[in-house]
Structure 1
Amino acid sequence: MKRKLKLLFLAITAVFLVALILKEPKSSIPKSIEEEAHIALQYFPSLQDIPIEFKFKKNIEKSVMQAQPTWSGLLKSKSKRSYVILISEKFKISGKEFKTLDVPKDVLIGWIGHELGHVMDYQERGNLNLIGFGIRYVLLKEFVKKAERAADSFAVSAGMSNYILTTKRFILNHSEIDKTYKNRIKQYYLSPDEIMEMVEQQDSIKDKD
C-alpha cells in the first residue's frame, strides 16, 4: 500500500513537469482499428472535438483496453483535455495468446465503446476529482466496480447496448476464456441482465415522450 501511494505521489508530481514539455495532443487511430473506432465514436458526439489517441501496447495487466487522461490534459479545462486509449496487442485464452484484432468486429467495437464510456465519465469530473479518481481506482476495489459500471452505463445510454452485450457474451460464454477474467467481468461490470433492464427503462421513457 505504501509503495502504491509513493508511486501515485510521484506520478502526480510528474504531471506538472511532463506537461510543460509535451506537444499539443491530437486524435490518432491505428489503421487496423480505424473502422471499429469510428463506429464507436459516432455514438459519442460530445467527444468529437476531444483529442483521443488509440495506442497499442504489448500487454495491459488485468484488462484488454484502458482509457486514461494524458498528463498534459490534467492541467487543462475539460474542453481542452486529451486522452489515450491503450489496447493490448494480445490476450490469453486457456493459457494461449491471441491477437486482440482477431476478435469479432462487434466485440472490438463494444470494447472500444466501454473505454469511451470511461472518457465520458472523466469529462464530467474536475481536474482534482480526476486525480482523486485515479488514486481511488488503484487502492479501492469497490471504486473499481463503481467506475467500470459507470463506463458501461455511459456506453449503453449512448445507444451502444447491442455492442456492449455482444462483448459481454463473447467473454462470459467463451468456454476457453480464463475464469479469472470472467470473474472480474462478473464482479466489476454490468451484467447482461442489468444492461437489458437499462434498455427497457430507456425505451419506456422514450415511449412516454
Structure 2
Amino acid sequence: MKLEPKFKLLFIIIAFASLSINAQEVVKNFASNSYEIDTLNELKKEFGTNKIIPTLYETQILIALSYFPELKNTIIEFKLKKTNTPLSSRPNFFGLLQSSKKRKYIITISELTNSRLEPILLKNLNFNAQIGVLGHELSHVSDYMTKSFSKMCNLLLIEIFSKNQVDKLESRTDHICINHGLGYQLLDWSKSVRKNLNIDNWRGADNFKYMTKKERYLNPETIIQILKINPLYHQDENFTNKMI
C-alpha cells in the first residue's frame, strides 16, 4: 500500500504530537526473559494503579501500559474468560453515565474460542505480538477517554449498523497504537494473525468467514509504510535494517 502525500503529512503531524506523551522509547522486540522482578515492580508501581491484571499476562500488560501514560490513573480491569473474540475493550455499562475519566474500562482476553480462531488467542501469540495486540486494546481505551456519553453511544450505533465505519475505527485505533510507540509490536501481531490463520486480510472474529479485500486492521505492508514516515521510528541510523 502506497500512502498518498496528504496522508503522509497527516501521519507526520500526528506522530510529532505524540512525542510528548510517550513514556517509553521505541523497542523493536521485547523478550519475555528481559524483565527482572525489580523492573516489573517499578512498572507496577507506576502504571498498575487502578488496574486489575491477571498474573498470567502481568508482564505484557505492564509493558503495554507503560506506553500509555495518559491511562496511569484510569480504572481498567483485564478479564480472562471464554469468548469468541480473542480480545475486546469496552467501558463498564454504568460507567457510560460518568465522565470519561471516572469510567471503568474492561479489556476481555479470551481463554477459549472456536477452533478456527484458537491460533490467535493471546496465549498462542509470541511475547512481542502479545504486547502489540494489548497496545491496540489500550488504544481503544485511550480513544474512549476522549469521548462523551453521546459520542460513545454513537460508537455503539456504528458497531451495530456500519461495517465500513468500524473498518475506519479499527484502522484509526491501529494508528493510535503506532503513535504511542508500539508499532513494531503491532506489526508482529499483524503478521502473526495472517500467518496463523492463513489469510491476507483480518476483519475481526465476527467477519472471519467472509473473504474480503477490505483492510480493517492494518496489514503488515501498511504498517511498514507508516513506520517509514513516522518520526518516532527514526531515532537511530539503523532504522532501515530494523524493518527487515
* Structure-2 change in CA distance of 1:127 and 1:88 (3 Å): same
Pairing of 1:163-174 with structure 2 (within 5 A): 163-174=185-196
CA contact (8 A) 1:64 1:87 kept: yes
Partner of 1:54: 78
2:68 counterpart letter in structure 1: F
- The question of 1:188 aligning with 2:212 is answered no
CA contact (8 A) 2:201 2:219 kept: no
Deviation of 1:169 after TM superposition, in Å, equals 0.5
Between the aligned residues of both structures, percent identity stands at 29
SS of alignment partner, residue 51 of structure 2: coil
2:125 counterpart letter in structure 1: V
Partner of 1:38: 62
Matches of 1:64 and 1:140, distance apart in 2: 21
Deviation of 1:124 after TM superposition, in Å, equals 1.6
* Structure-2 change in CA distance of 1:106 and 1:206 (3 Å): closer
1:140 to 158, 162, 171: 162
1:79 counterpart letter in structure 2: K
SS of alignment partner, residue 188 of structure 1: coil
Matches of 1:167 and 1:126, distance apart in 2: 30
Partner of 2:7: none
Deviation of 1:166 after TM superposition, in Å, equals 0.3
SS of alignment partner, residue 86 of structure 1: strand
Matches of 1:94 and 1:64, distance apart in 2: 11
CA contact (8 A) 1:165 1:192 kept: yes
Matches of 1:189 and 1:198, distance apart in 2: 13
Deviation of 1:94 after TM superposition, in Å, equals 4.9
1:194 counterpart letter in structure 2: T
CA contact (8 A) 1:117 1:154 kept: yes
Gaps of 5+ in 2: 1-49, 205-213, 236-244
Normalising by structure 2, we get a TM-score of 0.65
Matches of 1:98 and 1:146, distance apart in 2: 22
CA contact (8 A) 2:86 2:117 kept: no
CA contact (8 A) 1:118 1:150 kept: no
Pairing of 1:29-178 with structure 2 (within 5 A): 29-60=53-84, 63-92=85-114, 94=116, 100-174=122-196, 177=197
Gaps of 5+ in 1: 1-25
Partner of 1:12: none
Partner of 1:4: none
> Larger relative CO (CA 8 A, sep 6+): 1 or 2?
2
1:184 counterpart letter in structure 2: R
